Every structure is written in structure tokens, then in C-alpha cells.
């Protein structure tokens, strides 16, 4: 490993992130295969629409577990906005949409990441609850209510699907170096100072900064 890199995430954070991401992708693909006739070929690949539905349902259970772990782990840091710096960051879109002389300093997660997290957390819970009712208890609820479950399930898909592509872009091409945080877990000091300067300062002050090639100081 290159000396001087800073640890941004540990193995547990990365595991939960990829478990949530992969299960979400599988759910989106299998969901499209069941919703639209033009995507029915996806069912043919796995042995029919019935099998596609089974894959969708059981992946949904995996998604529910990953979602619970993600909310439990990240809510304190990513589920709450810090004012006024987060509002100032949003007013200039973090410098992503137009040139900004100085982007307001933010902590470990910027407001864009927090909005993505809240969208996935909120609509993810809706997807899980509606999915469970549609799968296990459809005959125990009034028909009109079950129909609304399908509407809410589809709405959750649209919102998460849209946010997912924005997240994918900003985590790769839109912000070079960001992907390393969720693959190796290590990032450069320059990237961290540019993207999350406040968090870098906090780790330095608290003595929690972990740098490759250096022994972690006791504190």
C-alpha cells in the first residue's frame, strides 16, 4: 500500500455499503423484468418470471438486513444536517454545478450524500414494508390498500433508481478518488482535504487519523 494514504472507511462499512448496493441493483433489474413486458427477457435468462420473482423477493430480504445495518451505522453522521455549513454548501451545490471560489467546509458526509442516504433510508423502508405486504399478506388487506402498496413500491423504485445514478456518477467520474473510499478504504490527503476538510481537521484534533505507513498513536 502506498505510504501516506488516510483510512476513510473500515471493512465493516464497506461490506454494508456493497451489500446494500448490490442487493439494490439486483432488485431494480428484477423489478424491471416483472413490471415491463419489454424486460421480460430477464425472466427467460433465469428460467422464467416465477424464478425472477423468487430472486426479487429473497434479495429483498437481504436488502432489508443491509438497510437496517446501514441506518444503524450511518444515521448519526449522515442522517442529520449540520447548520449553517450544510445550508451554505447546498446554496452553492458544493461546487459541482458551477465554479465556486471556496466551497463551505463540511464533515464526513456532505449534504448531497446526506440527501442520498435519507432517500435510500426513507424509501427503502417503504419498499421493504410494501414488499412484505405484497408478498406475504395480500389477501389479509383490502384490495384497494394492496393496490396502493404497488403504487408506493413503484414510487420507491423511481426515487431510489434516480438517486442511485447520481450517486454512481459523483462517486466515480464526478469526483475522482471517491471510489477508493469504498473499495480499498484508503484515500489521499489531498482528496480528503478538498472533499471533507472539516472531517480531516476533526480526526487530526481527536487523534483518530489513521495513515498508512505510520503507527496509530494512542489517545
The answer as to whether 47 is a domain residue is yes
Separation CA 88–CA 151 (nearest Å): 36
The answer as to whether 204 is a domain residue is no
The answer as to whether 211 is a domain residue is no
**Domain count of the chain?**
1
**DSSP H helical ranges for the chain:** 11-35, 41-46, 49-78, 85-91, 111-136, 143-170, 189-195, 197-206
115 near 94, Cβ under 8 Å?
no
CATH number at residue 130: 1.20.950.20
156 near 126, Cβ under 8 Å?
yes
Domain that residue 167 falls in: 11-95+102-180
User: Would you call 141 helix, strand, or coil by DSSP?
Assistant: coil
More reliable by pLDDT, 156 or 172: 156
Residues 6 or more apart in contact with residue 36 via CB below 8 angstroms: none
116 near 167, Cβ under 8 Å?
yes
The answer as to whether 69 is a domain residue is yes
Peptide bond into 134 cis (omega under 30): no
How high is the pLDDT of residue 1? 64
Per-residue pLDDT tens digits for 113-169: 899 999 999 999 999 999 999 999 888 889 999 999 999 999 999 999 888 888 888
The answer as to whether 128 is a domain residue is yes
Here the cell at position 14 is 464497506
Per-residue pLDDT tens digits for 176-205: 888 898 999 999 999 888 888 889 998 989
CB-facing half-sphere around the CA of 11: CA atoms within 13 A: 0
Task: Give bridge partners of residue 6 from the DSSP assignment.
Answer: 187, 211
The answer as to whether 37 is a domain residue is yes
Arithmetic mean of pLDDT, 9-13: 94
The listed range with the strongest mean pLDDT (63-72, 76-85, 173-182, 210-219) is 63-72
34 near 49, Cβ under 8 Å?
yes
The answer as to whether 34 is a domain residue is yes
Here the cell at position 87 is 445550508
What percent of the chain lies above the pLDDT cut of 90? 50
The answer as to whether 161 is a domain residue is yes
CA angle, corner 21, sides to 56 and 184, nearest 5? 145
Amino acid at each position: 500500500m502506498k505510504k501516506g494514504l488516510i483510512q476513510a472507511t473500515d471493512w465493516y462499512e464497506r461490506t454494508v455499503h456493497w451489500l446494500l448496493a448490490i442487493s439494490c441493483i439486483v432488485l431494480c433489474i428484477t423489478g424491471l423484468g416483472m413490471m415491463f413486458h419489454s424486460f421480460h427477457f430477464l425472466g427467460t435468462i433465469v428460467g422464467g418470471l416465477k424464478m425472477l420473482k423468487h430472486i426479487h423477493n429473497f434479495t429483498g430480504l437481504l436488502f432489508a438486513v443491509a438497510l437496517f445495518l446501514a441506518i444503524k451505522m450511518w444515521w448519526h453522521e449522515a442522517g442529520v444536517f449540520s447548520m449553517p455549513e450544510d445550508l451554505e454548501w447546498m446554496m452553492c451545490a458544493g461546487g459541482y454545478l458551477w465554479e465556486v471560489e471556496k466551497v463551505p467546509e463540511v464533515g464526513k458526509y456532505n449534504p448531497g450524500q446526506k440527501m442520498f442516504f435519507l432517500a435510500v433510508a426513507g424509501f427503502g423502508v417503504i419498499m421493504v414494508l410494501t414488499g412484505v405486504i405484497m408478498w406475504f399478506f395480500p389477501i389479509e388487506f383490502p384490495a384497494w390498500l394492496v393496490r396502493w402498496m404497488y403504487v408506493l413500491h413503484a414510487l420507491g423504485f423511481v426515487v431510489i433508481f434516480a438517486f442511485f445514478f447520481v450517486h454512481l456518477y459523483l462517486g466515480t467520474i464526478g469526483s475522482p478518488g471517491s471510489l477508493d473510499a469504498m473499495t480499498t478504504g484508503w484515500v489521499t490527503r489531498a482528496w480528503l482535504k478538498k472533499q471533507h476538510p472539516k472531517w480531516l481537521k476533526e480526526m487530526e484534533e481527536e487523534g483518530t487519523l489513521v495513515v498508512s505507513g505510520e503507527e496509530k498513536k494512542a489517545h
